[in-house]
Structure 1
Amino acid sequence: MNIQPDAVRERGDGTVGKALDVLDRVSAFGRPVRFSELLETAPFPKATLYRLVQTLTSQGMLRFDADRGTYAPGMRLVRMAHAAWAQSSLAPIARDHLDGLSAVVGETVHLAQLDGGQVLYVDKRNAARPVRMYSEAGKIGPAYCTGVGKAMLAYLPESVLDKVLVQQSWHRFTDTTLTDADAMRTEILAIRAAGFALDREEHEPGIHCIALPILSATGQVMGALSVTSSTDRGTLTEMERYLPQMRLAVEKISGDMRDWRFPDQREG
């Protein structure tokens, strides 16, 4: 799970912050969860956690299965998530362009946005011959070792980049994972020079990708798009043949979002 136990207490967001933390924790399990499991990871006393869970359940944000004794996201939360996807995500605007790119390249296509210091996958198209990998729409991933994450980091304003780099875990997933901010800054210079980012099996062994940032007319980072494949299908150099089609898709997405009111991400 990508939840930091002390995050809520450090922010001092009160009851609302605690409730949101509980929702994050339930969602992060990826399956119905028992109260005892939540209690093991939550930074709250048992009585406080129980009160929060009961309130969230009564409000429809959580659903309780009495037969199994488990909690899962409720339908009210699902409706809110759908509305957020439609109003605050690039996915509805990019949908047709992802379809077109996927049909041309025949490989997995990802659309992602930054969520604080992490990557949120907002849409995905599977390859003609799907490859098993971590990423799915709605999942959170690290920014420093994914193609989409690196593409977005490279075009952030320096003040925002400083804040985002501090938030990275720098966990070594593979032998090629970058594990400190200095290495990432060197990589960022290379990305800016090339105009695209590469994931050299940095998050998952055998999985690599090429990625482009999606920028607004003023250069603000709005998201990123990537084409992902397995190493047994070809090299990253060979995958660069997809760049013209990728750039065309990015241009079309950028053009379509000109009149769209998108949440301001300049503060990271």
Structure 2
Amino acid sequence: MQGTQTASGTVKKALCVLDQAASFGRPVRFNELLENSPYPKGTLYRMLQTLRSEGMLSYDETSQTYSLGIRLVRLAHTAWTQSSLAPVARPFLDTLSKSIGETIHLAQLDNAQVLYVDKRNAERPVEMFSQAGKVGPAYCTGVGKAMLAFLPEKELQQALAQQSFHRFTPQTLASTDVLRDELVNIRKRGYAFDREEHEPGIICVAIPILTRTERVIGAISVTSTTSRTSLDQLEGLAPEMRQAADAIADAAEHWSFPVQQKTKETLES
């Protein structure tokens, strides 16, 4: 048992270091990592060397910087294929994109945050935060709120406890109580809005993707700008979006979704 706990702690530290390195979005020096690391200098250095030897990080001798390794690319591709809704949803997103001509997003919940797993650009692309592979907040994005609204109460409580409620714009829903009221309305009408809550000028309508048992497996959104459309116009697309979401859910019915494995330790605790 002691060996298992030690191994678990080591893996957790390694993942923390990887997350930290990835958060910079560029090659990063050791001192930059150390500045915000929860680990002592020696521990951090050993973690970095182990990750290098396993191909999870690469090191540039000239610039003396660390960057994510090619092994992670292979793992990410496999995860995208096996655990992401994207391959299942691809043909339906393509059809919806051709019909609507605006930006389409496909997202899933990841530890109470939004993980964008696929995207179709508009005929006239708009610069915005969301890109496939990026993680965003759930409480102030259309796809995030659409998924939160249909979670079982226990899961919703856990997800809400993990929201930061940082106010990105004057329209951001910045408290649990306000968000809960919004989620009730979303559940009633069946879709969510982003009213410039995450980025100024960016609006969207979002539809949850639900299985036949009403389990949330993702969400899709149509996103545009206040300079070329309105929420009323986007809302008019909801029926077509619902058809696409239902088609994705049907296609995913026999997809093997990632589930939390009940380990021996979990069962014994």
The two structures have a TM-score, normalised by structure 1, of 0.93
In the TM superposition, structure 1's runs of 4+ consecutive aligned residues that sit over 2 Å from their partners are 264-267
> Which stretches in structure 2 are left out of the alignment for 5+ residues?
1-6, 263-269
User: Equivalent of 1:133, from 104, 128, 131?
Assistant: 128
Matched residues in 2 for 1:13 and 1:182: separation? 37
- Aligned equivalent of 1:111: 106
Give the CA deviation at 1:264: 2.7
Asked if 1:176 is matched to 2:175, the reply is no
Asked if 1:151 is matched to 2:146, the reply is yes
CA RMSD of aligned residues (A): 1.5
- Aligned equivalent of 2:13: 18
Matched residues in 1 for 2:143 and 2:221: separation? 6
- Aligned equivalent of 1:9: none
Matched residues in 1 for 2:241 and 2:260: separation? 23
Give the CA deviation at 1:266: 11
Which stretch of structure 1 is more off in the superposition, 89-98 or 258-267? 258-267
Matched residues in 1 for 2:8 and 2:40: separation? 17
Aligned residues: 256
For 1:13-162, list aligned pairs within 5 A.
Answer: 13-162=8-157
SS at the partner of 2:107? strand
Q: Which has the larger radius of gyration?
A: 2
- Aligned equivalent of 2:236: 241
Report the AA paired with residue 201 of structure 2.
G
Is the 8 Å Cα contact of residues 160 and 266 (structure 1) preserved in structure 2?
no
Give the CA deviation at 1:200: 0.3
Is the 8 Å Cα contact of residues 208 and 236 (structure 1) preserved in structure 2?
yes
> Which stretches in structure 1 are left out of the alignment for 5+ residues?
1-11
- Aligned equivalent of 1:8: none
Report the AA paired with residue 101 of structure 1.
L
Q: Deviations over 1:50-74 (max 9, x none)?
A: 0000000010001111111111111
Report the AA paired with residue 257 of structure 1.
A
Q: Deviations over 1:155-181 (max 9, x none)?
A: 000000001000000000000100111
Is the 8 Å Cα contact of residues 154 and 188 (structure 1) preserved in structure 2?
yes
- Aligned equivalent of 2:215: 220
Report the AA paired with residue 251 of structure 2.
D
Give the CA deviation at 1:48: 0.4
Q: Deviations over 1:222-267 (max 9, x none)?
A: 0110000011011101111211221111111001101111013799
Is the 8 Å Cα contact of residues 220 and 266 (structure 1) preserved in structure 2?
no
Identity of aligned residues (%): 61
Matched residues in 1 for 2:136 and 2:37: separation? 21
Asked if 1:191 is matched to 2:186, the reply is yes
Asked if 1:166 is matched to 2:161, the reply is yes
SS at the partner of 2:26? coil
